[in-house]
């Protein structure tokens, strides 16, 4: 999963845990996926760190609050992968690089061909495609509706859905899920 615009309202360089707001339905959708046997991961670009807008510690506090809120709903992430570099800086895992998904494969035994990448930006979709996931899913929350309008030709073989609740519905309807 992407983070900003997918799980929580995109606050444009979210650095204050008090500003974290989950998108409606996210806890239940994640719980349904976990209950179906999916391991949950966050893969997020956090260029605000590399740009000097906030610190690594700020991001960690946001993640602590996110995880605490979701834990109350019985949801746990196996790991949060993040790329703190600015877009122009070299980065091992900055999306659309598939590196963090490959790391999850190697570290947790994730079968990428049976996995999904969910996000609200074209780079999220491309990250999943570059890793060879079963399907990338674009949610219309965050930037997703705009991406759907402007990048339609790049969304072949991508599920486009309203939000994470609809993404979970679609994923759980897939054969073999």
pLDDT by residue (tens digit) across 45-87? 999 999 999 999 999 999 999 999 999 999 999 999 999 999 9
Residue 64 · residue 16 · CB < 8 Å: no
User: How many C-beta atoms surround the C-beta of residue 152 within 10 A?
Assistant: 11
**Closest to 48 measured CA to CA, from 93, 83, 4, 13:** 13
Residue 115 lies in a domain: yes
Residue 2 lies in a domain: no
Residue 33 lies in a domain: yes
pLDDT by residue (tens digit) across 10-19? 999 999 999 9
Q: Label each residue of 78-98 as H, E or C.
A: CEEEEECCCCCCCCCCCCCCC
pLDDT at 125: 98
Residue 148 · residue 134 · CB < 8 Å: no
Q: Which pLDDT band, with edges at 50, 70 and 90, does 175 fall under?
A: confident
Catalytic site includes residue 2: yes
Q: Which domain holds residue 157?
A: 17-173
State the burial class of residue 35 (Cβ atoms within 10 Å of its Cβ: 0-12, 13-18, 19+): exposed
Helix, strand, or coil (residue 62): helix
Catalytic site includes residue 163: no
* CA R_g for the chain: 15
Domain count, the chain: 1
- Token digits of residue 84: 């703190």
Residue 95 lies in a domain: yes
Looking only at the bridges linking them, the beta strands covering 79-83 and 158-161 are unpaired
Residue 3 lies in a domain: no
pLDDT by residue (tens digit) across 82-137? 999 999 999 999 999 999 999 999 999 999 999 999 999 999 999 999 999 999 99
Phi and psi at residue 138, in whole multiples of 5°? -100, 125
pLDDT at 161: 98
Helix, strand, or coil (residue 176): coil
CATH at residue 22: 3.40.50.1000
Q: If you average pLDDT over residues 30-48, what whole number do you get?
A: 98
Residue 12 lies in a domain: no
Q: Which of 2, 10, 58, 124 is catalytic?
A: 2
Q: Which residue has the tokens 């605490």?
A: 68
Residue 98 lies in a domain: yes
Residue 65 lies in a domain: yes
Distance of CA 11 to the CA centre of its chain: 15
Q: Which of 4, 58, 120, 163 is catalytic?
A: 4
User: How many C-beta atoms surround the C-beta of residue 61 within 10 A?
Assistant: 17
pLDDT at 177: 66
pLDDT at 176: 73
């Amino acid at each position: 999963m992407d983070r900003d615009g997918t799980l929580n309202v995109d606050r444009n360089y979210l650095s204050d845990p008090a500003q974290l707001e989950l998108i409606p339905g996210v806890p239940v959708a994640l719980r349904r996926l976990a209950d179906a046997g999916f391991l949950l991961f966050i893969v997020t670009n956090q260029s605000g760190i590399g740009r000097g807008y906030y610190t690594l510690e700020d991001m960690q506090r946001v993640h602590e609050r996110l995880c605490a809120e979701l834990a109350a709903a019985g949801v746990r992430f196996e790991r949060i992968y993040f790329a703190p570099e600015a877009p122009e800086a070299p980065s091992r895992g900055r999306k659309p690089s598939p590196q963090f998904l490959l790391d999850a494969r190697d570290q947790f035994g994730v079968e990428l061909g049976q996995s999904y990448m969910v996000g609200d930006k074209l780079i999220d979709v491309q990250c999943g495609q570059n890793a060879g996931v079963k399907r990338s899913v674009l949610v219309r929350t965050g930037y997703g509706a705009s991406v759907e309008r402007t990048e339609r030709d790049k969304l072949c073989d991508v599920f486009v859905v309203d939000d994470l609740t609809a993404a979970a519905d679609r994923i759980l309807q897939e054969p073999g899920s």
